[in-house]
Structure 1
């Protein structure tokens, strides 16, 4: 079957072999694994704690994780744009194809030049690839590095009045699963965002309404935020991700969710209401 037929023909039956979900306990991977399992499809979690274990820095673990696998949801920690990522994910993709993996769905980032190099390295493997480029996760505020800030009522970041179309991770997972199970998405690159631009002041206002108590955005300097990263033992490369927001490269709404799923992207306010209803930010 030609790529033209695969891309534009009828949906195909999902590969009966296992899907390896790298980062399967993380924000997007956990949701992808849950959705595939709900469809009755076999899933293997790719993580340090899984059996067999998977570690990016230990290629000796890759073969066992790929045994019997037909598709991979490919995420890279800490970020595809970080130094060395392109070489590592490219080597993994080549190994996967050599082991008989047919399909890869790669989670990438919008506006990241380093991430583009990683995309190219994976594409060079010859796999049937779908790239999913994401804006900042809305879930960073309840499952990521800012959850404690929201609980404390103060989000401190060096982004000024910059705006970002925060995307709901539930949408990312829906797009990824669709791409993993339907050949019409092979060769596509989907850029995902939420349906509107929000400043951190507006984010704080949405969170205030959802939580029922004040959450403030406090602008800080880049040096102050660097000190926070250093104190938390986090890679300073995260400053580059912050710079994406202040640089304005992603300060526009894109429509990959609707292109892939045929429905609008979920709004930040709906995300905030649901997270608050789960008691995420209770003090």
Structure 2
């Protein structure tokens, strides 16, 4: 049977900083899927997720980041709340290549500038490749729906796409699908910080992103995780499928 889903974000009245908005957001829900937005201030996430979980006792799947140590305090926050919690740890979203400020340059000028090198392991270092197994957000949603069941209560599921790609390889696949010349240029995390700032991303979020990428670009995520296969009993969607569909939808301004 299909589940009824409703969005809970600022446009619908949810304000992480205003607890008086939480009850109306949660009313009538059987489960809540929580993603704490970085522009609110990611270091504050544990202080918000924990209290929200206590208000929503009996509800909840929390989306976390694979290989990100800063996410661990937020994962711990619901555990002491009495909530029936689960954690879904996801690799880099495939959709990060089609929307948001990270790829504004790719859409506008045909060039993706990002602090991920293009040399494969070994050894992983901050100056070498950051290979990622991009995961389609639809797979994350499918996993979240299944893990909301009793069987997965109190568990963390780690998931990724089916294969490793460097950023150069990912952009090449997008270029082929779009029929448009697209390129990738590697820079340092600090050099990269000027790009999102130029597209209007707030200074605090820019600094957070720079520090995050500086800490993650060490090869720790250059591996696959089988959470999708374990939970759904099928392979995750391949990045090539995402590239074809996004291009057909005109996401890349072909």
Contact 2:101–2:201 (CA<8 Å) still a contact in 1?
no
Partners of 2:194 and 2:33 in 1: CA distance = 34
* Structure 1 consecutive aligned stretches of length 4 or more whose deviation exceeds 4 Å: none
Unaligned runs of 5+ in 2: 119-129
The answer to whether the aligner puts 1:75 opposite 2:35 as a matched pair is yes
Judging by fraction of residues, say which structure has more strand: 1
Give the structure-1-normalised TM-score. 0.79
Contact 1:105–1:132 (CA<8 Å) still a contact in 2?
yes
What does residue 99 of structure 2 align with?
143
Question: In the alignment, which of 137, 140, 147 is matched to residue 169 of structure 1?
Answer: 137
Contact 2:53–2:81 (CA<8 Å) still a contact in 1?
yes
Residue deviations 1:170-197, cap 9 Å, x none? 11011011122x3222222111111111
Contact 2:189–2:214 (CA<8 Å) still a contact in 1?
no
Residue deviations 1:92-122, cap 9 Å, x none? 111212xxxx131110001111211101011
What does residue 258 of structure 1 align with?
229
Contact 2:117–2:186 (CA<8 Å) still a contact in 1?
yes
What does residue 241 of structure 2 align with?
270
Partners of 2:110 and 2:16 in 1: CA distance = 36
Pairing of 1:1-283 with structure 2 (within 5 A):
39=2, 41-50=3-12, 53-78=13-38, 82-97=42-57, 102-151=58-107, 152-161=109-118, 162-180=130-148, 182-231=149-198, 232-234=200-202, 235=205, 236-283=207-254
Distance apart, 1:269 and its partner CA: 0.9
Unaligned runs of 5+ in 1: 1-37
Partners of 2:170 and 2:5 in 1: CA distance = 35
Partners of 1:267 and 1:168 in 2: CA distance = 8
Partners of 1:146 and 1:209 in 2: CA distance = 20
Contact 1:80–1:115 (CA<8 Å) still a contact in 2?
no
Secondary structure at 2:7 match in 1: strand
Contact 2:101–2:196 (CA<8 Å) still a contact in 1?
no
Contact 1:154–1:216 (CA<8 Å) still a contact in 2?
yes
Partners of 1:123 and 1:277 in 2: CA distance = 42
Which deviates more, 158-167 or 220-229?
Answer: 220-229
Distance apart, 1:147 and its partner CA: 4.2
